[in-house]
């Protein structure tokens, strides 16, 4: 009996969402939408989201650590467990000495990406904003006689607009009366009727959008990781020794291998950027489309999947940065063991020299 009621409830919720809660076909844009321009600099919605993420992290850390106790509990216990677990993972891979050097950058990359990815799943993202147009409205009217986009209703509360939900008479499967397509032959008539009814036509310019769905953010993180790796390599081995990895003139084969290493080093920027961007943008599109097709029940599993994917992408990005850093500070595969051996031999030589000087004549 319980199983049957569950199935009936599932079907009922699905039908209710399909009939009454579906919105129009969402507008998918690869480029982040510009909210305004400040001194010639475009202020995009992903930039706003990035600032929100940074502020959330800073406030969360402040509130979680303002009352630091010797015996952790509550939020402090969670923060200590998270950071200690990640620190242990980093030092197990890179060793204690290098792990302490790499941890701040690697941990920052991981926690920023994972929090950014998870925050983009919160209600309000890609849903709240204002009515705009990807093209100038006046230009569209001059060329076509109408503005294409979604028809928004006026709430009567100033500039607040909303999109009417679906109904049994407008299932929005083969046709959508709330959308004016770009090449619609009846577009001018629909636009005039919408304006006469006090409605607005355009696209939703969301105030908040996932940070990593903007190609610029993954690229910026990839560049920061690249610079950190090169800095660690040069500071550990010296400019000449580290540069010999890419420019080796001892023979034609070594020279060719060095060029391949250089190309591989630069390709990391591309792979880092598009792996993170592609996964997060695709996830956003999937959620938007399933929210349009089947709200409520069937959309929920995709939110769970995106929570998992968001964490995995953050982990992959940070761990690859860590692995490349370990490779950068390793001298011809010697790694940290060789570095420690060399340092130990150097210290022993200094000790012997000091003892010899201290011996009485």
Which of the following is catalytic: 167, 235, 264, 271? 271
Instruction: Tell me the HSE value of 223 on the side-chain side, using a 13 A CA sphere.
Output: 6
245-257 burial by CB neighbour count: b if 16+ within 10 A, else e? Answer: bbebeeeeeeeee
**Catalytic residue of the set 45, 178, 279, 330:** 279
CA 359 – CA 361 distance, rounded (Å) = 7
Whether 279 is catalytic is: yes
3 state DSSP class of 346: helix
With a CB cutoff of 8 Å and minimum separation 6, the contacts of 180 are 146, 147, 148, 149, 150, 151, 187, 190, 191, 194, 201
Q: Which entry of 133, 170, 268, 275 is annotated as an active-site residue?
A: 275
Examine the residue annotation and report whether 66 is marked as an active-site residue of this protein: no
Pairing of strands 161-162, 149-154: antiparallel
Q: Is the dihedral of CA 227, 229, 231, 237 positive or negative?
A: negative
Q: Are 295 and 230 in contact (CB under 8 A)?
A: no
- Characterize the bridge pairing of strands 200-206 and 129-132: antiparallel
Structure tokens at 148: 């294409």
Q: Indicate which residues carry an active-site annotation.
A: 271, 275, 279
């Amino acid at each position: 009996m319980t199983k049957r009621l569950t199935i009936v409830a599932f079907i009922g919720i699905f039908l209710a969402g399909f009939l009454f809660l579906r919105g129009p076909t969402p507008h998918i844009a690869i480029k982040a939408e510009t909210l305004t321009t400040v001194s010639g600099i475009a202020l995009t919605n992903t930039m706003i989201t990035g600032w929100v993420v940074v502020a959330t992290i800073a406030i969360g850390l402040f509130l979680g650590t303002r009352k630091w106790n010797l015996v952790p509990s509550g939020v402090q216990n969670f923060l200590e467990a998270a950071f200690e677990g990640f620190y242990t993972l980093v030092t197990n891979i890179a060793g204690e000495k290098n792990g302490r050097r790499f941890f701040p950058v690697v941990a920052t990359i991981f926690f920023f990406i994972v929090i950014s990815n998870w925050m983009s799943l919160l209600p309000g993202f890609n849903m709240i904003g204002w009515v705009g147009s990807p093209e100038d409205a006046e230009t569209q009217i001059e060329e076509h006689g109408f503005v294409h986009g979604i028809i928004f209703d006026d709430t009567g509360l100033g500039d607040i607009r909303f999109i009417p939900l679906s109904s049994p008479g407008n299932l929005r499967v083969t046709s959508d009366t709330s959308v004016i397509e770009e090449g619609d032959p009846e577009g001018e008539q629909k636009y005039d009727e919408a304006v006469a009814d006090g409605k607005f036509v355009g696209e939703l310019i969301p105030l908040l959008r996932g940070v990593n769905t903007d190609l610029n953010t993954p690229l910026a993180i990839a560049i920061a990781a690249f610079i950190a790796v090169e800095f660690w390599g040069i500071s550990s081995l010296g400019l000449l020794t580290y540069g010999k990895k890419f420019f080796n003139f001892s023979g034609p084969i070594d020279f060719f291998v060095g060029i391949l290493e250089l190309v591989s080093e630069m390709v990391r920027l591309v792979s880092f950027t598009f792996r993170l961007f592609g996964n997060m943008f695709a996830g956003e599109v999937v959620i938007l489309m399933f929210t349009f097709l089947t709200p409520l029940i069937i959309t929920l599993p995709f939110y769970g999947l995106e929570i998992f994917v968001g964490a995995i992408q953050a982990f992959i990005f940070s761990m690859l940065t860590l692995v490349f850093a370990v490779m950068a500070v390793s001298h011809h595969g010697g790694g940290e063991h060789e570095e420690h051996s060399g340092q130990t031999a150097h210290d022993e030589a200094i000790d012997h020299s000091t003892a010899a000087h201290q011996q009485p004549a």
